[in-house]
Amino acid sequence: MANLRDIRRRITSVKNTQQITRAMKMVSAAKLRRAQERMEAARPYARRIAEVIGHLALRAAPGAHPLIRAGERRERRIVLVVVSADRGLCGSFNSGVLRRSLEFYQERKGVEVTLLTIGRKAGDYFRYRKIPVAERLDDFFRSFDFAKARRIGEGLRRRFLDDGADAVYLIYNRFRSMLSQVPEVLPLLPVTIPPSVQPPIGMIPFDFIYEPSAAAVLEALLERHVNTQVYQALLESSAGEHGARMSAMDNATTNAAEMIDKLTLFYNRARQANITRELIEVVSGADALKG
Amino acid sequence: MIGGAFSLVIVTPEGEVVQTSVEELTAPGALGEFGVLPGHIPFMCILSRGELAYRRGAEKKYLAVHQGYAEVGPEAVTILAELAEAAETIDVPRAEAAKRRAEERLARRGPEAHEIDVERAQAALARAMLRLRVASRR
């Protein structure tokens, strides 16, 4: 039977851990709420841009812009952007997306893959596997805004238009619900034209005046569309991270509670055993004296 | 609809900034400032960085917009902008600080300065000046 003092010490230790996991859970819940709000707020903008591009592309000739590439094309050089979290303790959030990325990378045999990582965990993962990373952004999620996403979008566009990459893919955790994040591969470039929905309310399509020109409007919007997609992926990943950490810490808190219960039971049993043993000693001592 | 009102929606990645009905709008188009009154012909336009103003009755509002795009129709105007800040919400001390910082950076640049850094500083300066100009309208 374990020593009483040892058990007591373990109970205290587990209790301390539980306090930490509980606090982390609360913090994550608060951050999750904020991240979700940002995600919601970004949606109308992204939707509108996608809608307008759908319209413009309907009218534009195929190959109207190098960012929309007509026809299939063999991919010889691609850019792969992997988005993970900066920190751990969030369940399978990082491992899921990183495993998916590694698969994606290994599937592309004979293709020159330029790897970019956002989030410390992704950078570390590939460094550990000795896979060269062209550029890594660490400590990204503590504060990020649209301007940061735009700079990433611009960099990716340059790699696509000037450095001859045939495609750009982004792998990130899509936010399905507070408790569920799914690794997803997003083909970012060339731009896939979003299916055109309804024409904007109160407007006759095909009868617009463009300033400076239809091509210039399309170009500006395509660029913004790419930036917006990057921004949304980052927002989803960030919200997903907090969601994953929240549920991981919730589990940890529950497990700690279970362990405390079990240890307390052990402790009581051990204490009872001690008392019984002492009683027997006293009684048998008295018996011996009598005898 | 002449003499009436039209709806104006301004959306940024941070959310909807304005959703209201207005009687008159002026916006900084890529080829120069343009005005919109109800019943305007359909029109799509890239906005340059600048000042956007709208009027409803006697009330006139000003916003600073960056990286914008406008879709104008007879009854509705939608503006998508990376940033749209109402004159009342602009943080003047912060804009002033940003302006000073950008100016210093531009003054300090040596011959080995990166083109991108210079561009960035110039953009920051332009943004700060725009904010200050719009803020002075309130």
Provide the total of helices (H) and of strands (E) in chain A, helices listed first.
5, 6
Average pLDDT in chain A: 86
Q: Name the pTM for this structure.
A: 0.85
Q: Give tens-digit pLDDT for A75-128.
A: 888 999 999 999 989 888 999 999 999 999 998 888 888 899 999 999 899 899
Across B37-45, average pLDDT: 86
Which residue of chain A comes nearest to B28, CA vs CA? A211
Instruction: Report the residue from A48, A147, A208 with minimal CB separation from B80.
Output: A48
Beta carbons of A45 and B71 less than 8 Å apart: no
Residue A49 has pLDDT above 90, yes or no: no
pLDDT of residue A22: 94
Size of interface A-B (CB pairs under 8 A): 82
Higher pLDDT, A193 or A152: A152
Beta carbons of A209 and B44 less than 8 Å apart: yes
Q: Which of B65, B71, B83 to mutate to test the interface with A (most CBs of A within 10 A)?
A: B71
Q: Residue A148: is it exposed, middle or buried by C-beta count within 10 angstroms (0-12/13-18/19+)?
A: middle
Compute the nearest-CA separation of B13 from chain A (Å). 4
Which CATH fold would you assign to the domain B6-88?
ATP Synthase; domain 1 (2.60.15)
CA-closest candidate to residue A246, choices A31, A100, A102, A59: A31
> B80 to chain A: which residues are within 8 Å by CB?
45, 48-49, 52, 224
CA atoms within 13 Å, Cβ hemisphere of B76: 12
What is B91-135's CATH number? 1.20.5.440
A90 classed as catalytic: yes
Indicate the domain borders of chain A: 4-20+255-286, 24-248
Q: A11-20, A51-60, A170-179 — which one is most confidently predicted on average? A: A11-20
Q: Which residue is it, tokens 């804009």?
A: B95
Cα–Cα distances in angstroms (integers) from residue A248 to residues A29, A32, A254, in the given order: 11, 13, 10
Beta carbons of B80 and A45 less than 8 Å apart: yes
Residue B28 has pLDDT above 80, yes or no: yes
> B21 to chain A: which residues are within 8 Å by CB?
none
> B44 to chain A: which residues are within 8 Å by CB?
52, 208-211, 214, 217
Residue B117 has pLDDT above 90, yes or no: no
Across A172-177, average pLDDT: 90
ipTM, two decimals: 0.80
Q: Which of B44, B77, B120 to mutate to test the interface with A (most CBs of A within 10 A)?
A: B44
Residue type, A58: L
Indicate the domain borders of chain B: 6-88, 91-135
B6-88 and B91-135, same CATH topology:
no
Q: Are B106 and B118 in contact (CB under 8 A)?
A: yes
Q: Which of residues 77-136 of B touch A (CB under 8 A)?
A: 78, 80, 82-83
Compute the nearest-CA separation of B107 from chain A (Å). 24
Which CATH fold would you assign to the domain A24-248?
Pyruvate Kinase; Chain: A, domain 1 (3.40.1380)
Q: Are B51 and B64 in contact (CB under 8 A)?
A: yes
Task: Establish if A228 touches chain B: CB-CB under 8 angstroms.
Answer: yes
